Structure 1
Amino acid sequence: MADERRPVGALEAEVLALLQASGEPLTAGEALRRLGGGLSYSTVVTVLSRMRAKGLLGRTKRGRAFAYAPVADSHGLTARRMRRELESDSNRGAVLARFVQDLSSGDEQLLRQLLGSDSELDITDGPSTG
């Protein structure tokens, strides 16, 4: 069906996953070809532009076009979203207190370890809790 629409944010998530998996910046045309059918060039350009405005993507000039790449890996992007949410509330202390209060015991322990570390953190393969 031509009127079938993706859920809100699904196209952004798809484009972000594509850019993260590509390992190199992609132009709108390259992204369009890799995404497959059903999208117009202008839709891809719009999505890339909006994602750049949100701070998710950077861009560099490539010939007459721009090539886009994520500004961080998936963990870094999640951390940026968390920081943006924290910064959107005037009472940061209350937000942080509630956040810590709602953590699982494993996540709380991990956070304590991270905050208590005097050395540089190895975040590439850090422990994860579920």
Structure 2
Amino acid sequence: MALGALESAVMRVCWEARAPMTVREVLGRLNADRDQPLAYTTVMTVMSRLAEKGMLNRAPQGRGYAYTAAVADEAAVAVREVLRTHGDAAVTHFAAEASLDPQLRDRLRRLLEQSP
């Protein structure tokens, strides 16, 4: 589930946004720096697929949807991919590596204590 180039570009726009964005708004930002403009339907399809993958949240707005990022950044996407692909083995290896580094172990402990 690694992101393709256009998926990454859409996610960057959504991460930078301060509010939910429609397909048309994302399209406008993407096309602002392009010589060859993207089609509305192309961006709509990419955003719909990102929502299906759990990368974007969408809520009805008018006749379409408004989208917000469901993951914090590219690191969160990478972690999801590693966990999806390798599951418990990835967690086991991470814990083993963290146990070797006292600073990382302490930071991880603090993060776990802070989480809801």
User: What TM-score bracket applies, with the shorter chain setting the length?
Assistant: 0.7 to 0.9
Kindly indicate whether the alpha-carbon contact (under 8 Å) linking 2:56 and 2:70 is maintained by their aligned counterparts in 1.
yes
Given candidates 31, 42, 49, the residue that maps to 2:26 is 31
**3-state SS of paired residue (2:114):** coil
How far apart in 2 are the matches of 1:32 and 1:52? Answer: 16
Structure 1 unaligned blocks of 5 or more: 1-7, 122-130
How far apart in 2 are the matches of 1:88 and 1:41? Answer: 32
Letter of the 1:28 partner, please give it. V
Larger radius of gyration: 1
Could you say which residue in structure 1 is the equivalent of 2:83?
Answer: 86
Q: Greater relative contact order: 1 or 2 (C-alpha under 8 angstroms, separation 6 or more)?
A: 2
Identity within the alignment, %: 33
Deviations 1:37-67 (A, max 9, x none): 4200110011101111110100111111101
Query: Which structure shows the higher helix fraction?
Result: 2
- When normalised by structure 1's length, the TM-score is 0.65
Following superposition, the deviation at residue 119 of structure 1 comes to 4.3
Residues 14 and 87 of structure 1: CA distance in aligned 2, closer, same or farther (over 3 Å): closer
RMSD: 2.8
Equivalence map 1:80-119=2 (5 Å): 81-89=78-86, 92=88, 94-100=89-95, 108-117=101-110, 119=113
The number of aligned residues is 107
Deviations 1:63-109 (A, max 9, x none): 111011101321xx63464245335446x2x4334335567x7xx33
Structure 2 unaligned blocks of 5 or more: none
